[in-house]
Amino acid sequence: MNIISDSLKRIKPSPTIAVTQKARELRAAGKDVIGLGAGEPDFDTPNNIKNAAIKAIRDGDTKYTAVDGTPALKNAIIRKFKKENNLKYSAEEITVGTGGKQVLYNAFMATLNKGDEVIIPAPFWVSYPDMVLLAGGKPKIVKCSEADNFKLTPAKLSKAITKKTKWIIFNSPSNPSGASYTKAEINKLSKVLIKNKKIHILSDDIYEHITYDKAKYFTIAQISNLKNRTLTMNGVSKSYAMTGWRIGYAGGPKEIIKAIRKVQSQSTSNPSSVSQAAAVEALNGTQKFIKTRSREFKKRRDFVVRSLNKINGINCLTPNGAFYVFPSCKKLLGKKTKLKTDTEFVEKLLEKSNVAVVQGSAFGLPGHFRISYATSMLKLKVAMVRIKFFCESLN
């Protein structure tokens, strides 16, 4: 008798976590590996946020809280949405989870029935399809080409919609491409969704504050008539360098928020009380460091893009958000190099040059690879030299 469930057999372990773990193991074995696979800022959590957590511990704020967030944190989230996105929510329209990932997972578990389709533009964050599958839904992958800057077009969106479509996932700025949609682009997509009144939108805004080149950020519920059908997810992990604190949140229709709370009440229950106290300070406290850190990310982006585009066989677009680039390695695949896939490319890169990146096929778009430049400039400089040497050795 097989004890493992059929639903678990439908999914695979996270490729990004697998790459990061492999890099750790190689370092532990004495290898000089540079890991460019993790989507984690190398900056530390700001001191004012740490101090808020310490105060919470000293004040005995270490008990269970309401399942989906303390009143203080919900109020901070409500203020954030109003101030930064011009979105008005009540406490009943806010949920807090153990990371943005849990919020997304809860949403699918709470809303999907067998056969319900979820439109997922590719390249996509690796966990989207597997979460949909676990919840019994069907991922509907829509490939977005390099020619379209890895962005979904209204024509492709219209073609992907069927009678079974229940959700579309909208991630801007994007993991893994860094692509960020303009107000005009969002409006065009919104017109398609307004016509299809049964579709809900899951807006993953986790990289909201990490944008470049004077790009102005907009979220879809903010500039369309779709707020009553949109779950707007965000969190403190990327903007505030709080990945390990595990706090994500969302604003959305009461019916969905209530259903998410029900799921969470039977899984993790409330997020850490101490992390919630820290998140209150993150949202209410100074925001000055965000721009400073974004400027540093931009310097790294410019260096990485410039370096990659000097390598024969590599082509890399310049993203205007997040901290990833998604270069093409298609010209380095084939009989000449004896590398058939992007997976073989990244495996050989790690084996020969001790640089860990993630294959594009993990994000639904083969022939590419993702680099996270959320690490020091020194490491990036060494990594770019190694990648260049490896690619030249293939020719």
Percentage of the residues of the chain whose pLDDT score is greater than 90:
90
**Residue 30: CA count within 13 A, CB half-sphere:** 0
Average pLDDT over residues 269-298: 98
Residues 6+ apart with CB under 8 A from 307: 384, 387, 388
State how far the Cα of 208 lies from the Cα of 220, in Å rounded to an integer.
12
56 in any annotated domain: no
- 230/376 same-domain check: no
- 235/260 same-domain check: yes
Instruction: Choose among 318, 42, 303: nearest CA to 180.
Output: 318
In the predicted model, is pLDDT for residue 38 greater than 90? Answer: no
What residues are paired with 51 via a beta bridge?
none
Determine the pLDDT at residue 20: 77
Residue 248 burial (CB count, 10 A): 24
In the predicted model, is pLDDT for residue 214 greater than 80? Answer: yes
* Domain finish residue from 284, 317, 352: 284
307 in any annotated domain: yes
104 in any annotated domain: yes
Residue 227 DSSP code? G
Q: Tell me: the pLDDT tens digits for 41-52? A: 999 999 999 999
- 79/214 same-domain check: yes
- The CATH number that applies at residue 154 is 3.40.640.10
Range of the structural domain that residue 353 is part of: 6-44+289-394
- 347/262 same-domain check: no
- The CATH number that applies at residue 326 is 3.90.1150.10
- 153/248 same-domain check: yes
- 205/275 same-domain check: yes
* Domain finish residue from 284, 317, 335: 284
1 in any annotated domain: no
50 in any annotated domain: no
51 in any annotated domain: no
Determine the pLDDT at residue 21: 83
- 130/217 same-domain check: yes
In the predicted model, is pLDDT for residue 117 greater than 90? Answer: yes
- 263/308 same-domain check: no
Instruction: Give me 218's structure tokens.
Output: 């907009």
Backbone φ and ψ of 336, nearest 5°? -65, -45
- pLDDT band at residue 91 using 50, 70 and 90 as cut-offs: very high
- pLDDT band at residue 16 using 50, 70 and 90 as cut-offs: confident
The structure's pTM equals 0.96
Q: Are 210 and 174 in contact (CB under 8 A)?
A: no
Average pLDDT over residues 187-193: 97
* Domain finish residue from 252, 284, 316: 284
- 205/312 same-domain check: no
Determine the pLDDT at residue 182: 96
- pLDDT band at residue 150 using 50, 70 and 90 as cut-offs: very high
State how far the Cα of 227 lies from the Cα of 85, in Å rounded to an integer.
12
Average pLDDT of the chain, as a whole number: 96
Domain total in the chain: 2
In the predicted model, is pLDDT for residue 25 greater than 90? Answer: no
Backbone φ and ψ of 350, nearest 5°? -70, -45
Q: Are 372 and 292 in contact (CB under 8 A)?
A: no
- The separation between CA 256 and the C-alpha centre of its own chain, rounded to angstroms, equals 21
- 165/310 same-domain check: no
